[in-house]
Structure 1
Amino acid sequence: MIGIQSYGAYIPPTRLSFASMAGRPAVEDGPEKAVAWNDEDSVTMAVAAALNCLRGLGREEIDGLFFASTTYPFMEKQGASLIARALDLPRSLRTADYTGSLRAGLSALRGALDAVAAGSARKVLVVASDCRMAAPRSALEMNFGDGAAAFLISADGVIASLESSHAIAEEILDFWRSEGDPYVHTWEDRFVIQEGYLPQMVEAVQGLLHASGTTLADYAKVMLCAPDKRSHGTAARALKLDPTRIQDPLFGKLGSAGAA
């Protein structure tokens, strides 16, 4: 069996309240998001998540590191090799960067699973990290949060495996950031949700259920990726999900952590 042997995460301890973003005094226990400190970025958070993932494990058998991020500081310089050096991994390591889309994290994870399944790697460390910026006082500013996640993919000591998958590739101008742009941009909200996110999410879930021969009632928990809290609820209702089986998306606590 091939799957996840270990996992780790890093969430910056700094929080920014929604009230503060609106120019009001912060409210105790009010909605907030995680924000990287001024000496943190997608690389430092990736290293922290990876260290958490590898705690108590040997590193000599790790022969691959895949790094996923849409906010890596360099336009031309590999991030995976930089993280590998910080983790003191073997120099013979296979490294790769995944970027350009919030799908980067899942693409890196799937690439690692395929590499181990094909026998071209024994263990692959997958690290996803993002610090996305939105224009001040925009709706996106409240939705974005910073964080990183790491998974060690192996055929040994597997605690979770991939049983089935279904993917859709569709072109739509919903969220984008051009070269030189400091902020992520988005198209009109209703268009993004009604023509982009919602139909694709429903089709993907239904395709997975068909491929695996299961129903939503067979799952104890369902986690939906969404750009914001409202669209998350819209997708859950469209799929007729039992509210008790929906995994908390952490909006108002962490925020959308991009590729992570």
Structure 2
Amino acid sequence: MVGIISYGAYIPRFRIKVEEIARVWGDNPKDISGGLGVQEKSVPDLDEDTATIAVEATRNALLRRDVDRDGIGAIYVGSESHPYAVKPTAATVGAAIGATPVMTAADYEFACKAGTAAVQTCMGLVGSEMVTYGIAVGADVAQGAPGDALEYTAAAGGCAMVIGSKDPIAEINHTCSFTTDTPDFWRREGQAYPRHGGRFTGDPGYFKHVQGAARMMLEQMGTSPSDYDYAVFHQPNAKFPSRVAGMLGFTKEQIKPGLVVPRLGNTYSGASMVGLAATLDVAEPGDRIFVTSFGSGAGSDAFDITVTDLIADTTVFDRAAAPSVEDLLANPIYLDYAQYAKHKGKIMVQK
């Protein structure tokens, strides 16, 4: 059975509160935070980008379990903010963890579901025995134009999953996807910031595809929402995943552990994977987890996951060896808008 061998997340310590952004643009902070369900978002340090975040998340995954570097045959990094248009982030990750040169590596793009697409690719390579381990990363330094609605949520962070078949801490029972050509969100080559279709990002974007993949999974597995202990849905804000959970029949209690967006913001390709990491941080053997990502353009990947006894076996896997998502969200350093703009490269300081 192919599954998750280990996992790790990384979130920068810097934050900016929603009311600070609203103050600059003259918006009502109560309308913003109340409508989105987001109080603050993470901000990268001046020297952090998708590559450094991907490396840190992967290193945290490898702290929890000693994985033979020679067995890592594939590394895929999903992001929509790769630091280079032509130069793979995945190769940098491989070099940083000592896995090169014997591996296949590539960067993925599919808006916010590129990381889960990387998980599916690693599942195929492991399942076919072409590789022993594959590493799938979802990481982003998300972009939002000054004054745009996206600026209130576009955050920084990521998660790495080590995929293998030998003694997984969580078995991936099944995966399926739902994809259409729905241009609800896009960024052309050379443009600094993405554009979005306003209300169309909700429907026919997010809700159609998340429900499409989720209902397909429930039908193919012959399950219902009550068969799962936890559920994780892509979280561009707190309103969308809460609403789609209710539409599908999941409860607030099932999505609560993985709903980190109120204090984190939307980490794009990392969003659903960080939510899964937060859920694995508290999961017990036998727990069943339902996951559905979403990427604009548009598509969703769904996963049915069962946690194994090994998640509690410290001789194999040490969950405490790397910071939990809750640890990474703690002790934030708050920035004002000018500092935030400098960190995000919205303003350039000439020396």
TM-score under structure 2 normalisation? 0.69
- Alignment partners' CA distance in 2, 1:133 and 1:87: 27
Is 1:208–2:217 an aligned residue pair? yes
Partner in structure 1 of residue 18 of structure 2? 18
**2:41, 2:265 within 8 Å by CA — same for their partners in 1?**
yes
Deviation for aligned residue 1:194: 2.6
Spell out the pairing of 1:216-231 with structure 2 (5 A cutoff). 216-231=225-240
Q: 91-100 or 111-120, which moves further after superposition? A: 91-100
- Alignment partners' CA distance in 2, 1:40 and 1:203: 35
Deviation for aligned residue 1:86: 1.6
Deviation for aligned residue 1:100: 4.1
Partner in structure 1 of residue 139 of structure 2? 129
Spell out the pairing of 1:94-109 with structure 2 (5 A cutoff). 94-109=104-119
Deviation for aligned residue 1:145: 1.5
1:45 to 27, 46, 53: 53
Deviation for aligned residue 1:203: 2.2
- Alignment partners' CA distance in 1, 2:208 and 2:91: 38
Amino acid at match of 1:41: D
Deviation for aligned residue 1:234: 2.4
Amino acid at match of 2:120: R
Question: Which one has the bigger strand percentage?
Answer: 2
- Alignment partners' CA distance in 2, 1:70 and 1:184: 10
CA deviation string 1:128-167 (max 9, x = no partner): 2101110123221112211011111111220112112221
**1:69, 1:130 within 8 Å by CA — same for their partners in 2?**
yes
Deviation for aligned residue 1:48: 0.6
Partner in structure 2 of residue 185 of structure 1? 195
**2:75, 2:94 within 8 Å by CA — same for their partners in 1?**
yes
Deviation for aligned residue 1:188: 2.1
**2:6, 2:169 within 8 Å by CA — same for their partners in 1?**
yes
**2:70, 2:102 within 8 Å by CA — same for their partners in 1?**
no
Greater than 4 Å deviation, 4+ residue runs: none
Partner in structure 2 of residue 237 of structure 1? 246
Specify whether residues 194 and 128 from structure 1 end up closer, same or farther in structure 2 by C-alpha distance, changes over 3 A only: closer
**2:71, 2:131 within 8 Å by CA — same for their partners in 1?**
no
**1:225, 1:249 within 8 Å by CA — same for their partners in 2?**
no
- Alignment partners' CA distance in 2, 1:65 and 1:195: 32
Calculate percent identity across the aligned residue pairs. Answer: 28
Partner in structure 2 of residue 81 of structure 1? 91
Secondary structure in 1 matching 2:16: strand
- Alignment partners' CA distance in 2, 1:133 and 1:222: 27
Partner in structure 1 of residue 333 of structure 2? none
Contiguous gaps of at least 5 residues in structure 1: none
Amino acid at match of 2:223: T
1:35 to 43, 51, 55: 43
Contiguous gaps of at least 5 residues in structure 2: 30-37, 271-351
Deviation for aligned residue 1:196: 2.0
CA deviation string 1:174-218 (max 9, x = no partner): 1111111111211122x2213222122222211111100100011
- Alignment partners' CA distance in 1, 2:238 and 2:51: 27
Deviation for aligned residue 1:20: 1.1
Is 1:92–2:92 an aligned residue pair? no
- Alignment partners' CA distance in 2, 1:195 and 1:91: 43
CA deviation string 1:27-73 (max 9, x = no partner): xxx91111111110000111111111111513232122112111111
- Alignment partners' CA distance in 2, 1:259 and 1:92: 26
- Alignment partners' CA distance in 2, 1:127 and 1:231: 23
